[in-house]
Amino acid sequence: MIELSDIHRDFQVGDQKVHALDGVSLTIGAGEYLSIMGPSGSGKSTLLNLIGLLDRPTSGVYRLDGQDVTALSDRQQAEVRNQRIGFVFQAFHLVPRLTAAENVELPLILAGVPPVQRGQRVEQALAAMSLSDRSRHKPEQLSGGQRQRVAIARATVMQPTVLMADEPTGNLDHKSGQDVVRILEQLSSNGITLIVVTHDGEIGRRARRQLHMLDGRLESDSGTGNA
């Protein structure tokens, strides 16, 4: 359960203030499938980063499962990110020197999960992405679609409640992009809360709930599809 009320995020650029988010209030229920669309610079990524606790609002209150998370320390926020939030990025952000399996293992290492349990969980996460036979491959030996699936395995290996994807198909061809969307929707139907930022109207319209942003504000909200 995500509750944002009157969130502002200002950036100081030189002596000019940029209002990247200008009073956003939004409630997202557990298990929702939501897309955020809008022109470039409208604040989509900024909003996603705030929800994902990678950034802090200039003002406003953000409650995650009833808890005011803006008041948490950096360390506590890191723990929330580790346990409850998964990220998928446009640029994949796999560590190039690590194999697919080692990349997926990273969140488990940070969480202090003992090695014996890690192997099994990594295997399961990769198997769910049909990548079992690629576990020892380095990112450079994988196609774009495979890389993004490794990234999704990594984002889900901790079994988070929220999965955020910022332009997850932006660097992929049409076919791989569709595969990735199908996988994300599969996860959503298994109960995860899915938030996808996209430029691609075709992908955005597949979400049950669609948000449009303009100049740091929510311009339209198709409303809670199910909550």
Ligand X SMILES: Nc1ncnc2c1ncn2[C@@H]1O[C@H](COP(=O)(O)OP(=O)(O)OP(=O)(O)O)[C@@H](O)[C@H]1O
Residues that bind ligand X (CB under 6 A): 11, 13, 18, 20, 38, 40-46
* 166-225 residues near other proteins, rule: CB under 8 A: none
- 18, interface contact from Mg ion, other proteins, ligand X, none, CB < 5-8 Å by kind: ligand X
Of 29 and 60, the one with the shorter C-beta distance to other proteins is: 60
Say how many CA atoms lie within 13 Å of 90 toward its Cβ. Answer: 10
Residue 192: helix, strand or coil by DSSP? coil
**Both tokens assigned to 106:** 């990273």
- 78, interface contact from ligand X, Mg ion, other proteins, none, CB < 5-8 Å by kind: other proteins
Which run of H or of E encompasses 111?
helix 100-111
* 16-35 residues near other proteins, rule: CB under 8 A: none
Residue 94 is classified by DSSP as -
* 110-149 residues near other proteins, rule: CB under 8 A: 110-112, 114-115
Of 102 and 221, the one with the shorter C-beta distance to ligand X is: 221
Q: Which stretch binds Mg ion (CB under 5 A): 38-46, 69-77, 99-107, 140-148?
A: 38-46
CB contact set of 127 (below 8 Å; sequence gap of 6+): none
Q: Tell me if 158 sits within 8 A of 184, measured CB to CB.
A: no
- Cα-flanking dihedrals φ and ψ of residue 41, to 5°? 85, 5
Residue ranges binding Mg ion (CB under 5 A): 45
